[in-house]
Amino acid sequence: MNTDFRVGVTRDFLSGEGGSTLPGVTFALLDEVGLNWEYLPQDLPEITPDDAACYDAILTLRPRYPAASVERQDRRLALIARFGVGYDRIDVDACTRNGVLITITPDGVRRPVAQAVLTFMLALAGQLVPKDRLTRAGDWARAGAFVGMGLTGRTLGLVGLGNIGRDVVRLVAPFEMRVLAHDPYARQEDLPPGVELASLETVMREGDFVSVNCPLTRETRHLINAALLGLMKPTAYLINTARGPIVDEGALYDALVAGQIAGAGLDVFEQEPTPADNPLFTLPNVIVTPHALCWTDECLRGNSEGACRAIVALSRGEVPPHVVNRAALEHASIEQRLAQWRTAHGGA
């Protein structure tokens, strides 16, 4: 046990009701191995250099990590253990230059996000929201105006075929859909059964449902733009559970208003929290959720356990699983501290 290893946990894991931890989130593994952990003193949108000077590892949900947070000479921070798979709020280059590892939790998020994609797909296909509104209003006579779309034989287009996209393929298998995927990193020999690789234009043009599952990078920002939305069928739906800025929100609004596409399911937005006057909220053919549709007990438990495993591994002088910036492992400070923590843990 490394009693000198300090862990900070961002305060956004606490719910507003009595300050209890979000349901499903667990840090039990840190307690089991005897690590010294605490919630950060303040709930801030951005991690400060003072925070980085206090902790060897920070288990984090929403805060940003600009370059300034990891560049001070007295920085103690060696690991940012991200709850989830997105790390667009972290200055990866600055962390790599300064010997700060970044880990993610793909095993915890894969099935819950794939389930969220399926939830949107079924709700949009079945016209669930308008039918709910009609029923509440007692307007049963208009139900025929909202006939749903059967999934059998329809085409699902995936923008990104990583862990989440592949799990979506598993979940939709019983619906006997055609699946097209665009992913520049996917190899033909590694495709799941029944998946066809296609150009992004083909995915947009032929998909009855197009699901965005790629990470937010410089290359994917506003990847889904007006030109690509204009290729979609007027009966097709766009689903985004990845990151908001991958889709040009203004172009999406225009496409929805013009009837270029039938509707959308959005769990993510260009600005989060998105303003209450977001024009997309005025459209009846859009289902919106607050970047939390995947937040099930399974998701919260799996992600928190995955982040804790990364922290425990580092405290023992081991390379954590799922390091995003592996070049940081070559930094002299990381090599030195891994050796130090192995010794403290009783290793060679």
Estimate the crossing angle of helix 332-344 against helix 297-315, to 10 degrees. 90
Asked if 272 is an active-site residue, the reply is yes
Q: How far apart are CA 185 and CA 273, in angstroms?
A: 31
Q: Number of helices (H) and strands (E), helices first, in the chain?
A: 11, 12
- Tokens found for residue 219: 């290359």
Can you tell me whether residue 280 is helix, strand or coil? helix
Query: In Å, how far are 61, 137, 306, 322 from 298, measured between CA atoms?
Result: 16, 35, 12, 19
Catalytic residue among 291, 309, 316, 337: 291
Can you tell me whether residue 38 is helix, strand or coil? strand
Asked if 89 is an active-site residue, the reply is no
Catalytic residue among 243, 316, 331, 337: 243
- DSSP track, 179-224: EEEE-TT--GGGPPTTEEE--HHHHHHH-SEEEE-PPP-TTTTT-B
Asked if 221 is an active-site residue, the reply is no
Amino acid at 250: G
Catalytic residue among 176, 272, 330, 335: 272
Q: How far apart are CA 288 and CA 253, in angstroms?
A: 13
Q: How far apart are CA 241 and CA 86, in angstroms?
A: 11
Show which residues are catalytic.
243, 272, 291
